């Protein structure tokens, strides 16, 4: 079941973002305002339930798109996936992405998760004994190819790029940096494009005290403190049992969070810590003890869920529409979401000392930066190859990812733009 295009398109904002193509006149590109063209369809953001989700209305993407041999394909991790979606196809406010410029080569990004809110796909209740089991969704990266298992993490994306001998994948997006102590074959080149922060999330109605320290959180996740009033200095807090949640060990959010509070994965008490999906607000809101649940969460993802409201809710086009709290009905905030009778209640980010930075990267093959063949051109007859044009730039050319238009889209995804060439890793 693939979503349809039945949703309405939100009007563009008054301001227009015009990409700055530094030095474009030298390679035959017109330097003119962007023209909107049909959005690439892909399953990355919306997956199987796109018809019912706000993103379908926004016109970003809502079905699987199999790239042509000439398109530029990217895969990657869950945390930076929305930023790449925006860079390729624009945002829900009508700001255009790269694919609106009229270029013959298009960016086709496949998200790590098939669900619009970054959750893994599960079998539904009608599957009987298979209910709630992972489906392991697939993707068709290029037209005419067989489906392959969808990449679900930054680490796996790096491995996929290394093992791709047919150049099906052109680049990856990742929240895990390449390591100078690791050998990469072929050699890879890394570019930082933004920073995010990992913070502590809770329900808007929570028993968690504010200002939890790294030591407090280490004690919670190691199983030393199991009730809020056991935390030093919090004797007057609730005696309710703490429900610490944590994404899988492969998650960049988890790695960053555990490093910040000073413990390792092996020190996490799995008897009290529940494993949940990364950056999924319903891990808190649908928990049977939501007022006592806490989880490390991407601030960028929170900002997308929050939208322009005081907290995440139906006013945001990225709010997770799921069967949930009956008080969040389909008519809230004047928006209509077909066949979605309810919504997950909002979450909040707590003040704590565990806030830390996670960096987002683009990785390409080093050889692609120096390729001069016709298949490497950003456009027919261009003197600049696609990897240089998009990510590296030259002394006279600002790379697309560093242009004003791209930086605005990065910011709209909740990520703080921060471009840096991290060099070659081999």
Identify whether 424 is preceded by a cis peptide bond (ω within 30 of 0).
Answer: no
How far apart are the C-alpha atoms of 250 and 120, rounded to whole Å?
Answer: 14
- What is the DSSP-derived secondary structure letter of residue 391? I
* DSSP state letters, 105-173: S-EEEE-S-SSTTSPPPB--GGGGGGTT-B---EE--BTTSPPEEPP-SHHHHHHHHHH-TT----EEE
Per-residue confidence (pLDDT) for residue 340, from 0 to 100: 38
Take residue 306 and report the two structure tokens written for it.
């929050």
Per-residue confidence (pLDDT) for residue 404, from 0 to 100: 96
Across 50-59, 204-213, 361-370, least confident range: 50-59
Per-residue confidence (pLDDT) for residue 112, from 0 to 100: 87
The percentage of residues in the chain with a pLDDT greater than 90, rounded to a whole number, is 50
pLDDT band of 101, cuts 50, 70, 90: confident
* DSSP state letters, 172-184: EEESS---TTS--
Across 78-92, 126-140, 162-176, least confident range: 126-140
Q: Is 253 within 8 Å of 198 (Cβ atoms)?
A: yes
Take residue 342 and report the two structure tokens written for it.
């309810």
pLDDT band of 316, cuts 50, 70, 90: low
User: Higher confidence at residue 403 or residue 59?
Assistant: 403
Secondary structure (3-state) at 50: helix
Per-residue confidence (pLDDT) for residue 128, from 0 to 100: 65
Per-residue confidence (pLDDT) for residue 44, from 0 to 100: 35
Query: Which pTM value belongs to this model?
Result: 0.77
Q: Is the pLDDT of residue 79 over 50?
A: yes
pLDDT band of 303, cuts 50, 70, 90: confident
Phi then psi dihedrals of residue 255, to 5 deg: -60, -45
How far apart are the C-alpha atoms of 202 and 348, rounded to whole Å?
Answer: 5
Per-residue confidence (pLDDT) for residue 315, from 0 to 100: 62
CB contact burial 175-205 (16+ within 10 A = b; e otherwise): bbbbeeeeebeeebbbbbbbebbbbbbbbbe
Q: Is 361 within 8 Å of 188 (Cβ atoms)?
A: no
Across 48-57, 148-157, 394-403, least confident range: 48-57
Across 27-41, 117-131, 357-371, least confident range: 27-41
Output helix, strand, coil percentages for the chain, rounded to the nearest 5: 25, 20, 55
Per-residue confidence (pLDDT) for residue 107, from 0 to 100: 94
Per-residue confidence (pLDDT) for residue 364, from 0 to 100: 97
How far apart are the C-alpha atoms of 97 and 407, rounded to whole Å?
Answer: 11
* Average pLDDT value for residue range 342-360: 80
* Average pLDDT value for residue range 177-205: 95
- What is the DSSP-derived secondary structure letter of residue 320? -
Domains and CATH numbers, the chain: 24-195+361-425 (3.40.190.10), 197-356 (3.40.190.10)
Q: Is 251 within 8 Å of 90 (Cβ atoms)?
A: no
User: Higher confidence at residue 346 or residue 239?
Assistant: 239
pLDDT band of 118, cuts 50, 70, 90: low
* Average pLDDT value for residue range 245-257: 91
How far apart are the C-alpha atoms of 41 and 7, rounded to whole Å?
Answer: 14
Q: How many CB atoms are closer than 10 A to CB 165?
A: 7
User: Higher confidence at residue 317 or residue 57?
Assistant: 317
User: Higher confidence at residue 22 or residue 418?
Assistant: 418
Per-residue confidence (pLDDT) for residue 123, from 0 to 100: 65
Q: Is 151 exposed, middle or buried (0-12, 13-18, 19+ CB in 10 A)?
A: buried
Per-residue confidence (pLDDT) for residue 164, from 0 to 100: 92
Residues shown for the chain: 426
Per-residue confidence (pLDDT) for residue 121, from 0 to 100: 74
Output the average pLDDT for the chain.
78
**C-alpha distances in angstroms, 5 versus 51, 53, 85, 156, 321?**
7, 11, 17, 31, 17
How far apart are the C-alpha atoms of 172 and 199, rounded to whole Å?
Answer: 25
């Amino acid at each position: 079941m693939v979503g349809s295009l039945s949703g309405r398109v939100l009007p563009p904002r008054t301001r227009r973002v015009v990409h700055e193509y530094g030095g474009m006149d030298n390679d035959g590109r017109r330097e003119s305002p962007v023209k909107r063209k049909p959005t690439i369809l892909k399953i990355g953001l919306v997956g199987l339930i796109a018809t019912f989700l706000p993103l379908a209305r926004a016109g970003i993407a809502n079905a699987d798109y199999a790239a042509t041999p000439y398109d530029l394909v990217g895969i990657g991790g869950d945390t930076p996936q929305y930023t790449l979606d925006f860079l390729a196809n624009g945002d829900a406010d009508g700001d255009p992405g790269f694919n609106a410029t009229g270029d013959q080569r298009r960016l086709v990004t496949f998200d790590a998760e098939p669900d619009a809110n970054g959750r893994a796909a599960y079998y539904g209740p009608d599957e009987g004994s298979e209910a709630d089991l992972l489906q392991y969704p697939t993707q068709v990266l290029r037209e005419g190819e067989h489906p392959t298992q969808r990449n679900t993490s930054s680490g796996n994306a790096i491995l996929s790029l290394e093992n791709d001998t047919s150049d099906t994948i052109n680049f990856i997006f990742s929240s895990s940096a390449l390591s100078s102590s690791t050998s990469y074959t072929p050699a890879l080149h890394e570019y930082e494009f933004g920073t995010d922060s990992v913070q502590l999330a809770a329900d808007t109605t929570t028993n968690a005290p504010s200002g939890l320290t790294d030591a407090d959180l280490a004690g919670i996740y190691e199983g030393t403190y199991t009730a809020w009033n056991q935390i030093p200095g919090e004797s007057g807090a609730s005696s309710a049992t703490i429900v610490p949640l944590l994404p899988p060990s492969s998650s960049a959010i988890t790695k960053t969070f555990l490093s910040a509070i000073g413990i390792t994965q092996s020190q996490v008490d799995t008897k009290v810590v529940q494993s949940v999906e990364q950056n999924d607000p319903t891990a808190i809101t649908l928990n049977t003890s939501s007022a006592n649940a806490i989880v490390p969460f991407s601030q960028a993802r929170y900002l997308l869920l929050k939208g322009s409201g005081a907290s995440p809710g139906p006013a945001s086009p990225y709010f997770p529409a799921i069967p949930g709290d009956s008080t969040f009905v389909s008519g809230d905030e004047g928006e209509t979401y077909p066949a979605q009778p309810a919504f997950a209640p909002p979450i909040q980010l707590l003040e704590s000392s565990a806030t830390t930075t996670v960096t987002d990267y683009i990785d390409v093959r080093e050889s692609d930066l120096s390729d001069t063949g016709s298949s490497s051109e950003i456009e027919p007859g261009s003197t600049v190859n696609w990897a240089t044009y998009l990510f590296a730039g030259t002394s006279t050319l600002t790379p697309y990812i560093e242009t004003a238009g791209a930086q605005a889209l990065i910011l709209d995804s909740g990520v703080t733009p921060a471009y840096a060439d991290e060099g070659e890793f081999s």
